[in-house]
Amino acid sequence: MLKNLVIILMASVLVNNYVLSRFLGVCPFLGVSKKLDQAAGMGAAVIFVMLVATAATWPIYTYLLSPKYEYLQTIVFILVIAALVQFVEIVLKKYIPALHKSLGIYLPLITTNCAVLGVTLNNITDGYGFLESMVSSLGAGLGFLLAMVLFAGVRGKMEGAEIPKAFKGIPITLIAASIVSMSFYGFASVIENMFA
């Protein structure tokens, strides 16, 4: 049981990294990764929202939608996530203003982040139980944070580099992302052999 959970966690952090191998949440990955502190803030907010969203959508799907109204999955999930993000923002603003200050501006951005909707949908498709779903969401969030922080470091190094004119800006960022993604590519066989 525990072994299973560890495998799910490691697999979603390293092997099936949401940004670098499943391509979910690429927009914030490229957009908000210019500075390290922003990247970390965004990553933390994503972990938080993913956990809350999974905690809400898994029971809704299992006890309300399944098996009769499965086709409503997409609509219900996106609405629940959007409502939750709004709700969390209001609560944070009222009760924990310090946290709201550091995470607040990232929260609205996360509503339409495909990684959050993606992880909740994937948990259902993969047939995970509640605990497994939470662990896989935590892994997805941690993987997102890891990718963001690593990539912010890489972008920092690029600032002084001389780049061909056509590649300036977005193209060179994507090429750098390609190299970061390649480094994660090597983890594929690590998980299979971890407990062998």
The residues that touch another protein, with contacts defined as CB under 8 A, are: 20-27, 30-32, 34-35, 38, 71-75, 78-79, 82, 105-106, 108-109, 111-114, 117-118, 121-122, 125, 164-175, 177-179, 181-182, 185
State the Rg of the chain over Cα: 18
Residue closest to 81 by CA, chosen among 43, 121, 122, 52: 52
Q: Name which of 6 and 121 has its Cβ closer to another protein.
A: 121
Q: Name which of 2 and 192 has its Cβ closer to another protein.
A: 192
Cβ atoms of 137 and 119 within 8 Å: the answer is yes
Q: How far is the CB of 106 from another protein (least distance, A)?
A: 8
Q: Name which of 38 and 62 has its Cβ closer to another protein.
A: 38
Q: Name which of 130 and 185 has its Cβ closer to another protein.
A: 185
Q: Which two tokens mark 161?
A: 């580099």
Q: How far is the CB of 164 from another protein (least distance, A)?
A: 8
Q: Which two tokens mark 174?
A: 């994507």
Backbone angles phi, psi at 23, to 5 degrees: 60, 40
Q: Name which of 66 and 178 has its Cβ closer to another protein.
A: 178
Q: How far is the CB of 173 from another protein (least distance, A)?
A: 7
Tell me the C-alpha distance between 141 and 54, whole Å. 11
Q: Which two tokens mark 86?
A: 């709004």
Q: How far is the CB of 109 from another protein (least distance, A)?
A: 5
Q: How far is the CB of 1 from another protein (least distance, A)?
A: 26
Tell me the C-alpha distance between 121 and 114, whole Å. 10
